[in-house]
Structure 1
């Protein structure tokens, strides 16, 4: 009899155990991780993948001919408490939204302002180059520490600030000061906006900063507004048939440097419906030509844009009397962005030009087609006097 009861108990136990497993399988499915990628229409140098509990920011092209990618995990404090990440898989793990930041290029400043995150900036190398009124006020109030030069950061001051992240600008990844910062366990992210091949691609890097501040939607909205403004200006320029001819650059130690036809500068001139005389050239960097070849090709050019660092016609003439033989010089049609500066001499174009290519395009359209954008006042470019 005991043996019979034992068999019954065992049968019931097996039945219950089996049912529990089946019920558990039905009510507690394994979680599925749905990965989504941030929508990027132009930028090629970075990507962002949302894994649910955290995001992965990948920098794919921080400088020309970069041979490796840099991966960073972006995670909120809430998710960090319940998520285990393998540090060996990333170049840095960053808690977002970041509370304080060091950036190293003036091109990074506009993104902070557009996202209303200027107050998070705690250090910058070469603060005199910053022209933004809001950021300059914080610098003048002593809220942004001076960090020396970009190529040799004052690591002692930077380490004392202890920012959540340093957004670096590098040409080869061999910066000793940035490597020192990494060893102190402060994440360094290389920003490659300057390597991008089109004006809108450079501007789209605001989404990079949007991810750091957990403001992707706001960054996307800001970029769409800039993109629409750019496209509208480009479409307006197409309504005219005349294409003034354009030359750019100037001599530096007997070599005339000017943008290649594949540069963002050339793209802006094309979108402004101007005839850039070197639009059919291809080069990774600037073209380097002698004076004679440029003079033969561009003597009769209608417009001369960005004549190096010269800020007046007298300076141009003193640098080389042969400049006066160009028609653009004779007709006072030489334009430069060097005269649009901030309170401490920083050039606005070098700070805001990347972030607002729509304004740059409108400036050039206003110069080449003055009958368009009648009420528009150029933001960067001014005629040399």
Structure 2
């Protein structure tokens, strides 16, 4: 699709009385918090077996939170489309959102690597990460190199580039085909872990969890769900049932074989939750996620997501976490959370917001 192709707003069905969906903003922080807890667990801060079991029970599957971000991105971008907006404007505005924070956190990660382990510095991996191409490389030291969470931005960058073309196709779908397409996308996500079964574990993991092409299925699903909601064809699954289903699926993923727990195990509950939260806001129904505190945390969640592992990594090395008691580990975890929230607020207000205003251009 030419960069001059216009992106238009979705139609608004009878149920879509408002374009504001603050619950999705609040849910962003919940997903980011799951990823935070997952990385705290991976750092082995807790050494007591009971404490480790509890942390694993709550946060052991936290990496699935990234799937929520991908479905959410597709939903929100489709929902917020503006009539006549050129594709290049979409790309510029998405770049204004993600690039400044990414560059700042990339520099922090680079400085940490050079300071702590100069011999561990890899020029190629660092450059690939800077330009958000790392998820395309099937080498863990590359796609998880530098600031590890930025691998998902590599996927998002690919999604944003493809968005105008995907938008064009999805807007042309007849309304009666929306649910069949959504079901087909879910089926494709469920098929991925089956197709990678014969492959080595490292390759299967990259293809099912990191590779932008397979993760784009979730982004496209979010876009289709936005059109389903906008056209008044939602199936009326409520917010509370979808939340409970997400909790159950999250727990179940720990017991799924192979790569099924990485993405496939939660794709349906996440899709239902995103759409149900949007419908709750549109219709003015109950939602805990649009509370002002949750919305504020959701606003800084992107900065929180990019900073959290850097905080965990740097503080952990500085304090020698291997010698902590369980009480000390609990205090450290709480401190890491507070410090990360504070750092995210600072990054959001000093980098993210000012650079978005500068780079996004006129509304």
Q: Shared topology, TM-score over 0.5?
A: no
Name the structure with the higher strand share: 1
Q: TM-score range by the shorter chain?
A: under 0.3
Larger Rg: 1
Which gives a bigger RCO, structure 1 or 2 (Cα 8 Å, sep 6+)?
Answer: 2
TM, length-normalised to structure 1: 0.26
TM, length-normalised to structure 2: 0.27
Name the structure with the higher helix share: 2
